[in-house]
Every structure is written in C-alpha cells, then in structure tokens.
Amino acid sequence: MEKTTQTPPPNPFSANTSHALRGNYEDMRADYTVEQPFDSYTEEEHARWRFLYNRQCELLKGYAADAYIRGLESLNAADGIPRLDAANEVLDKATGWNLVAVPGLIPDDVFFDHLANRRFPVAWWIRGADELDYLVEPDIFHDFFGHVPLLSNPTFAAYMEKYGKGGPKAIKHGATKKLARLYWYIVEFGLIQTPEGLRAFGAGMLSSKDETIYSVKSPIPHRVRFNLERTLMTDYMVDDFQKTYFVIDSFDHLFDECDRDFDPIYSKLAQQAAIKPDQLLESDEVITYGEV
C-alpha cells in the first residue's frame, strides 16, 4: 500500500472530549495503517504493559466472561507489549481476524471498512506512566487487552464483521452516532448472562481498573436486557462509569438481534428523541434496577 501523509481524522469522540489526537499520523498508509514499531518500545514500556496486564488479570477472576478469558490466554501476551504479527498467527487460525497497527483513532468509514474485512485496528503506542488509570483515547493496552481476546470467539467475531459491514448504511442515514452507541454499550461495556451470574465482556470495562467490578456488582447502575433499538437510542458519556449496562443472553442472542436490515430501523428512529443514560422505559426488561 502506498505511503501517504494524511491529516488526522476528526476525533470521533470530539463530541465529548476536546483533546487533540495523540498519535503520529504522518507516515501511514491510505488505510491509516502503519508498521508496529516493535523495536521502539522501551523496557520501561514493556514493564508498564506487565503492570497493567497483571493488575487487570487479578481483577477479572469471577468478573470476565469465560470466552474472553480463554481468548486472552490463547494470546500469550503477559510478558510485554505483544507483537501484532504473533497474535495474528493465533487469531487468523481461530476466526480469520487480523490486527493492524494504527496511530490512534481513525475516521469512522475507515474503521468500519477494517472491521468489515476482519481487520481490527490497534493503536501501536502505550499510555504514559502518569495515565495508568484513565485514558481519553485508546492505546495498545485498551485495544489489545480489551478488544482482541473476544475476536477469537467465532460468534462475536462474526458480529464484529457484521458491525463493520453496517457502517456505510449508517453513514448514508446520518446515523453513525446511533451505531456508535451500539458499539459503546456492547463492544465497550457489554454484560452477558451466565449460569454463574452476570459477566463482563466489553473492552472498556475489562481494560479499566474499576469498571469491571462496578459493572457486575454495583447496585448503582441499571442493567437492562439488550434490545437493538433501545441501545441505538441511548446516549452515553465517555468520561464516567455507565449509568445503564445492557445485558445479552449469549453471543448468539447479540448476533441474532443485530442480524436485520437497519434501513427501516434508522428511518423509524430518525424522529425519536435520544434516551438519557440513566433513564428506564416501560418497555425495558430490567434485570437490576439501579440507584442512579
């Protein structure tokens, strides 16, 4: 792919944050991918990865979905910042997904196209020592530790491809904010029902020191059974714990609920007002009523 110097994308989260993008968007390919500068990582950065990795693994016991734990273990990424090529050996065999290194956030349409082709964009840089607990923009720890393990689950892998394939239709309808809500509440902060109780599978909570436990155990947030239109309409804030979590019965439930033509859904929802993050509806199948 030819090299190109493109301007950084408008920050997709700019609606909620005003920071400039972190990455170096100078020498990237037309599809916003770069080579992972593996030799540029310092020993201190590898140690930072190990600190974050070990701290999260301690927290995940009894809180993370089994499919996530199995995926994480298959990636062997405990010893330091992982080589994306090495992870691709495992992932490609499991579900045909491959990781591509990117400078950071990339435009929605480019992001959707990567997902539609089973390529997951992973920011190549790691957060600084002064921002271990809160990060405004995804770094390699959020993207790899949070998102990659579940891409080894065939049903979730198929869901993520379908999500990407749905991008152009959302853009056509001016509904990318609705699709971003689906990503936020499921891919970033989704909960799943299991015989042992609720478990977290969202990347945003699994890579966060506190939100994994909060999302599963806290009496404060509402927990509502996942419904596609309800989630498409529910607003979110990027810099606080969720006020409402959506719960899927299974990854098959997630796939089936989203496996439909979104054209009529976007047309119908276009006139409707957004639902507030802490609001409950009469039609909700409430799993736990929160105190929000």
Residue type, 270: A
Residue 248 interacting with Fe ion (CB under 5 A): no
Pick the piece of the chain touching Fe ion (CB under 5 A) from 30-38, 59-67, 161-169, 201-209: 201-209
Beta carbon nearer to ligand HBI, 139 or 290: 139
Residue 203 interacting with Fe ion (CB under 5 A): yes
Integer angstrom CA distances of residue 157 from 47, 105, 176, 286 = 30, 21, 21, 27
Beta strands in 97-232 (DSSP E): 98-102, 119-123, 191-194, 197-200, 222-225
Residue 180 interacting with ligand HBI (CB under 6 A): yes
The torsion defined by the Cα of 227, 230, 235 and 239, in degrees rounded to 10, comes to: -20
DSSP classification of residue 166 = T
Smallest distance from the beta carbon of 271 to Fe ion, in angstroms? Answer: 30
- Per partner kind, with CB cut-offs from 5 to 8 A, the member of Fe ion, ligand HBI, none near residue 248 is none
Beta carbon nearer to Fe ion, 235 or 249: 235
- Residue 253: its H or E element: helix 251-258
Residue 102 interacting with Fe ion (CB under 5 A): no
Chain mean position to CA 49? 19
**Ordered alpha helix ranges (H), 26-127:** 43-60, 66-75, 84-95, 108-116
- Per partner kind, with CB cut-offs from 5 to 8 A, the member of Fe ion, ligand HBI, none near residue 203 is Fe ion
Beta carbon nearer to ligand HBI, 53 or 163: 163
User: Which residues inside 102-161 make contact with ligand HBI, applying CB under 6 A?
Assistant: 102, 105-106, 108, 111, 121, 138
Residue type, 76: N
Residue 100 interacting with ligand HBI (CB under 6 A): no
Beta carbon nearer to ligand HBI, 65 or 102: 102
Could you give the angle at which helices 84-95 and 66-75 cross, rounded to 10 degrees?
130
User: Which residues inside 126-185 make contact with Fe ion, applying CB under 5 A?
Assistant: 138
Smallest distance from the beta carbon of 189 to ligand HBI, in angstroms? Answer: 12
User: Which residues inside 5-64 make contact with ligand HBI, applying CB under 6 A?
Assistant: 12
